[in-house]
Amino acid sequence: MAPTSKKTQEGYSWTGSTGVRKGGLPCKGVVEPSTRIGSPAGHIHDAIVVGAGYAGLMAAREMTDHVLLLEARDRIGGRTYTVETDGILYEMGGTWVTHHMAFLFKEMIRYGMDRDLLLTHHAGYENDYYTLNVPGTTPRKMTHEEAGRIASRGWDIFVNVDGENCRKICPLPHSQLGNILVDRKDVEKYDKISCRERFEEIKHLLTIEESGLLVALLLHISGGSMENSSLWDMVRSHALMTYNSENFGPIWTTFKLRQGQSELASRIFQDATDHGLHYSFQTPICSINDLSDGQAQIIEVKTNSGSIHRARRVVSTVPLNVLRTVEFNPPLSRKRQEALDIGHVNFMTKIHAEVEGSGLASWNGMNYSNLLMFGYGDGVTENGNAHIVGFGKDERATYVPEHHPEKTIDAFEKLHPMKVKKMVFHNWITDPWSRGGPAWWTPEYMTKYQDELQSRHGNVLFASADWANGWRAAIDGALEQGFLAAHEVISETKRMFQSTFTSRI
């Protein structure tokens, strides 16, 4: 695979000699030239798609004809993209893939990438163990298997709210509210509970190590606090892991695309442009105005630079925490506005580090009270150094990685002794086009707002991983949502043209 020469303006890198640098990182998701719009000014497209993350790419590819894609960034992929440097593909956001994610796996098969995988964990290097560091016990080394057993026991007790390992309360994780097996009211009861409340109920059943690892894991997954993270999203995740915590690793943190997420996204984008997709990158939009009347259906989408694009339908894939910055006319319902004002609570950190020597490529570990709570060994760079990925919870108040490289280095060193030589990362929190990581909801958010977030607003449809039915907060959920929106638009467009044609003859 030839290295790409395209460089994104996004992301950060750090070395001792350069300090923190923004952008300039090689990424094949960058689109050059940034614009392809063949239609004359004033042209009415069948649809405008806002956002070129996986939801937008899926929607655009499925519709293609007479579709315009508008994207704020210089690249495709949104919260999922790959940076190529030092012979390593650094996944800056969405990373891991599995055949348990149906929409994603179908795309991997379509583009011949389903067998072209890499493992995250590499056994056999010098530091082939897990380090556990939780308050109230002496930090210690253990095997990866022992750490897995400690994590599983805490998690299994935590999620088993119905005494049947979630099978009773969440039998159909792709239709959690309103399915044929469970009364919606029963689900709503559990949806009210926070991770904190559930933890207080079960903590007496756990050892200190199990408690510490469980809480760290919950915060790692939700990117929020124990108080503002919903128990239900953990129950849903357990159901999606086929009700088995042994699938945690294999489903969530094991397999990566060898050619990187940006390659898969590029193949979807290329497919769409081969079929006529028009696009404009580095084009943030600020308002969506529906001017439709009884005679014509026209929506105007205005960009920050003042251009106006017209279409009969709009598919907005703007993320949950960003959507409140877009003006709608007519205004959004009060309920949707309320949902956007609350937003989601995932403000996690993900940082890649190249560290001296290859030994830590086999290491995993955690330190509960550290800025980076988890570290995963993830391969060896072409310089023979280990690649470590660090994850932290919501530390916005005191820690901004691009401003505080010394805090990040300190955090890596507190996970395990190591010498950090280089760091690569994206700050999804300060990024104006994401304002957070993958969506994790507050207690009762699903009950109150899921239906509203998924509903359309006149001729505007909303598709995002942030309110997907199944794999919410994941690539699969983005693809699911893009697919659903596209097919709603396609059938309406067909009906519209059939009726125009019929009324002319």
Ligand X SMILES: Cc1cc2nc3c(=O)[nH]c(=O)nc-3n(C[C@H](O)[C@H](O)[C@H](O)COP(=O)(O)OP(=O)(O)OC[C@H]3O[C@@H](n4cnc5c(N)ncnc54)[C@H](O)[C@@H]3O)c2cc1C
Binding-site annotation: residue ranges = 71-72, 391
Tokens of 454: 């998924």
* Closer Cβ to ligand X, 90 or 190, answer by number: 90
**Residue placing its CB nearer to ligand X in the complex, 51 or 224:** 51
Q: 36 or 167: whose CB is closer to ligand X?
A: 36
- Note the Cα 176 to chain centre separation in Å: 20
Choosing from 47, 59, 475, 484, the residue that interacts with ligand X (CB under 6 A) is 475
DSSP for 374-414 reads: EEEEEEE-TTSPEEEEEEE---TTT--TTT-HHHHHHHHHH
Q: Which is nearer to ligand X, 205 or 308 (CB)?
A: 308
- Tell me which amino acid residue 210 is: E
Site string for ligand X, 264-303 (x = CB under 6 A): --------------------xx------------------
Q: Which listed residue (418, 474, 486, 489) binds ligand X by CB under 6 A?
A: 474
Smallest separation, CB 40 to ligand X (Å): 22
Minimum distance between the CB of residue 321 and ligand X, rounded to whole angstroms?
10
> Of 46, 71, 107, 480, which one interacts with ligand X (CB under 6 A)?
71
Tally of CA atoms within 13 A in the half-sphere of 409 that contains its CB = 17
Among 48, 213, 221, 473, binds ligand X (CB under 6 A): 473
From residue 81 to residue 110, the character string flagging contacts with ligand X as x (rule: CB under 6 A) and all else as - is ------------xxxx--------------
Closest CB to ligand X among residues 79, 393: 79
Q: Report the nearest approach of ligand X to the CB of residue 126 (Å).
A: 27
- Minimum distance of ligand X from residue 433's CB (angstroms): 3
Name which of 46 and 466 has its Cβ closer to ligand X: 466
Q: Of 336-395, which residues contact ligand X (CB under 6 A)? A: 350
Q: How far is the CB of 443 from ligand X (least distance, A)?
A: 21
Kindly state the tokens that stand for 435.
């304002």
Q: How far is the CB of 468 from ligand X (least distance, A)?
A: 8
For the CB of residue 418, give the shortest distance to ligand X in the complex, in Å.
Answer: 21
Rounded Cα distance between 315 and 47, Å, is 7
DSSP 8-state secondary structure symbol assigned to residue 325 = G
Rounded to whole angstroms, how far apart are CA atoms 489 and 60? 11
Cα–Cα–Cα angle for 53, 93, 68, rounded to 5 degrees: 10
Strands, E assignment, 305-361: 308-316, 327-329, 349-355
Could you list the residues known to form a binding site for substrate, using ranges: 391
Of 478-497, binders to ligand X (CB under 6 A) are 478
Tell which positions 430-459 bind ligand X, by CB under 6 A: 433-434, 437-438
Contact between residue 421 and residue 354 where contact means Cβ atoms under 8 Å apart: yes
Secondary structure (H, E, C), 12-57: EEEECCCEEEECCEECCCECCCCEECCCCCCCEEEEEEECCCHHHH
Radius of gyration of the chain (CA): 23
Q: Which residues contact 125 (CB under 8 A, 6 or more apart)?
A: 358, 359, 360, 361, 362, 363, 377, 380, 386
Q: Does 61 bind ligand X (CB under 6 A)?
A: no
Residue nearer to ligand X on the CB measure, 304 or 333: 304
Q: Are 323 and 460 in contact (CB under 8 A)?
A: no
Token pair recorded at residue 56: 């937008």
Q: What angle do CA 19, 25, 30 make, to 5 degrees?
A: 150
Cβ–Cβ under 8 Å, residues 125 and 386: yes
Minimum distance of ligand X from residue 71's CB (angstroms): 5
Length of the chain in residues, anyone?
505
Nearer to ligand X, 31 or 361 (CB): 31
Shortest distance, position 322 Cβ to ligand X, whole Å: 5
- H/E element holding 405? helix 405-415
Asked if 241 contacts 248 with a C-beta cutoff of 8 angstroms, the reply is yes
Check residue 109 and report its DSSP letter.
Answer: H
List, as residue ranges, the binding site for FAD: 71-72
- State which H helix or E strand residue 153 sits in: helix 144-159
Binding test (CB under 6 A) with ligand X, winner from 317, 367, 427, 450: 317
Binding mask 29-58 for ligand X (x = CB under 6 A): ---------------------xxxxxxx--
Give, as ranges, the residues between 248 and 267 that touch ligand X (CB under 6 A): none
Binding region for ligand X (CB under 6 A) = 50-56, 70-73, 78-80, 93-96, 284-285, 317-319, 322, 326, 350, 428, 433-434, 437-438, 464-465, 473-476, 478
